[in-house]
Amino acid sequence: DYTGAIAYLEFCRQSEKEVKDLDLWLAFAAFHAGDYQRASDEYENILKKDPRNGEVCIYLACAYFMLGKYDDAEHTALKGPKSPLQTRVLFHVAHKQNNEEKLMNLHRQLQDVIEDQMCLASMHYMRSHFQEALDIYKRYLVENREYLALNVYVALCYYKLDYYDISQEVLDVYLKKNPESATATNLQACNQYRLYNGKAAENDLKQFLDKMSTSFNYAKELFRHNMVVFQGGEGALQILPPLVDVIPEARLNLVIYYLKEDDLEHAYELMKDVEPLQPAEYILKGVVNAAYGQEHNSRDHIKTAQSYFQLVGGSASECDTIPGRQSMAACY
């Protein structure tokens, strides 16, 4: 209960009750409660009193990273002592900065220990290497059944690989012990949406939202985004635009909404600079270019659409899937 911890520590600070490393504990609690700005403020204040505290520099770098201040995170992390945590922070910063050379150098520094391997698995996941991430998570889950959260990571990978029934089966193991998990509940709703329909998913999420506490504020934007999807686009123009640079799928779902509304100009503007990584992104990029090309009688856009459809339809991993076959059909 990090919210409770923060309240207690603030009381101790105000009443001048002596608590060892109170400032550090307050920053720690704020970070784990998802209040990264508060955490960074606390760490900055600690460093003002003790500028040579290199360990706190790395903690501050973690907070900067979560705030999206990637250059600050790198600069601050490098002030700290060389350590596994420093390597992991810099590894993720390199990914966000699209610095492939730094990323690979830091990759080689990761060790075969659970913290580093979890870091590597998350990197695979973010780079859409879901099978590689799954292999790591499953290996550690087999060896450490008591690490229940690994079930969520495994379930996420299965979801991304379109094994929704297996994803839900694995997720149930975690939900039985942690029914109030926002992340797991959200994934369960997404599985319901894929396996059944939006109404089933919407019901799952609504039940959770009704009893949701303030400590789940970090998940509210994700829930709002997913409710738009589950409700067939209702409220899309109010909810999705501010989330375009926050939740990757928000851009894609807003594009889909614009396409359904025959608003090709907005759909094209949103997609034109997107570098697709996943089949769904290639397909959507193809659909937008095809529609835009037909509307503006542009052969270049039609050819671009054709190339995207061909990439998906000709892919070894997608050629026998329904989207893959549809893409190949669209190509011709």
Q: How far, in whole angstroms, is CA 277 from its chain's centroid?
A: 15
How many Å apart are CA 273 and CA 267, to the nearest integer?
11
Name the 3-class secondary structure at 318: coil
Using alpha carbons, select from 285, 268, 265 the residue that is nearest to residue 277: 285
Residue 228 and residue 234 in contact, taking contact as beta carbons nearer than 8 Å: yes
How many Å apart are CA 149 and CA 137, to the nearest integer?
10
Q: Which pTM does this prediction carry?
A: 0.83
Using alpha carbons, select from 286, 280, 276, 244 the residue that is nearest to residue 160: 280
* Residue 88 burial (10 A CB sphere; 0-12, 13-18, 19+): buried
Half-sphere exposure at residue 314, Cβ-oriented, CA atoms within 13 angstroms: 8
Tens digits of residue pLDDT in 34-69: 889 999 999 999 999 988 899 999 999 999 999 989
How many Å apart are CA 291 and CA 160, to the nearest integer?
27
Using alpha carbons, select from 205, 181, 182 the residue that is nearest to residue 193: 205
Q: Which amino acid is at 275?
A: E
pLDDT of residue 292: 92
Phi first, then psi, for residue 97 (nearest 5°) are: -85, 0
Helix pair angle (164-177, 149-160), 10° resolution: 160
pLDDT of residue 217: 61
pLDDT of residue 21: 84
Token pair 């109010």 in the structure block, residue: 238
pLDDT of residue 45: 93
Cα separation values, 275 from 63, 110, 199, 285, Å: 28, 28, 32, 9
SS3 content of the chain, % helix, strand, coil (to 5): 75, 0, 25
Helix and strand numbers (H, E) in the chain are 20, 0
Other CB atoms within 10 A of residue 100 CB: 10
Polymer length in residues for the chain: 332
For 209, which DSSP code? Answer: H
Low-confidence residues in the chain, pLDDT < 70: 212-218
Token pair 């999807």 in the structure block, residue: 229
